[in-house]
Structure 1
């Protein structure tokens, strides 16, 4: 159904949120090895992001959840030297440029088919949540597992965003890994798929 495809769309967008603006910090030297600084890591991830074919989808999700002034916020956890290549371990969150309740309202509004929007009886968060609850109820007869998943997603997102204020950081993904290779223009980043990546405040 359309709802399932929409949720899948946002999930795929989430996987593209692996680069963007982040905080910089001084580099570290250990045992004669000069490790890239956080700012250099962020710059290389941003360059990778610009070439990613999913950039448009990622920006759509960012604008929906964070607002026009929303920004990705990176936390580099560790950097491992593997010969000439480094391996960056990091998490990513979203610094909200709007109230979290607005984030939920925009996200849920995008899930409602255009033909049904006029029947909602409102365009606020409460109206959209009632529609989602009705969808979950209808799914109980045909797909109980999806109904349960929808309810769980709405509950989890509510805990993440409902009371969040402008400027708050909402965790998105944890346990991300990227390889960093030296290049003539600085560092070249390439995402590495790892089983330990955890989705936090994203629709699934």
Structure 2
């Protein structure tokens, strides 16, 4: 008899409507058959965590010099490669481990989020409390996505036509702006433009969490009434 958790994890309806989804999928499908056999899903997951550590180090060290921000930018590319390909290569080679992969992948997503936003908060460009607002918003939305898997059988991978890949591009753009504009005084005294941007993104994520929670609650209530 199949394990119930395995069956549920394998039958998740993945909802991905971000702008770059189709192009990214074509690229991943092109890369998968060209990877050597020693490049395993577990190694790719570890590679993604290495990229997240590079991002953290680049931001945290940027107080010693703006050139450290290039380490963070390189880290985003490495983190994308590992995070996007670990599941793709498992599906391509038909060696999926649904429950294990689901657990490890999303656990690593939480660690990655912590490393990125803690690094941004430890940088001289964004206040730590503002970065924590953004982290709260992202993790709340992640919690919503994980709960939806179990109550709706749906994994929502994008919001407002944006997913993790689009968010990486936004963060790379933010990092380039940090490098170009520096840490000079902001228009609002102690609050810089970077603080406003990161804080606004965090608030948008929190609002999305509230809206999506209300939406799913209504759908569940409607299902209950129809029984």
TM-score (norm 1): 0.29
TM-score (norm 2): 0.27
Give the number of the structure whose residues are more often strand, by fraction.
1
Give the number of the structure whose residues are more often helix, by fraction.
2
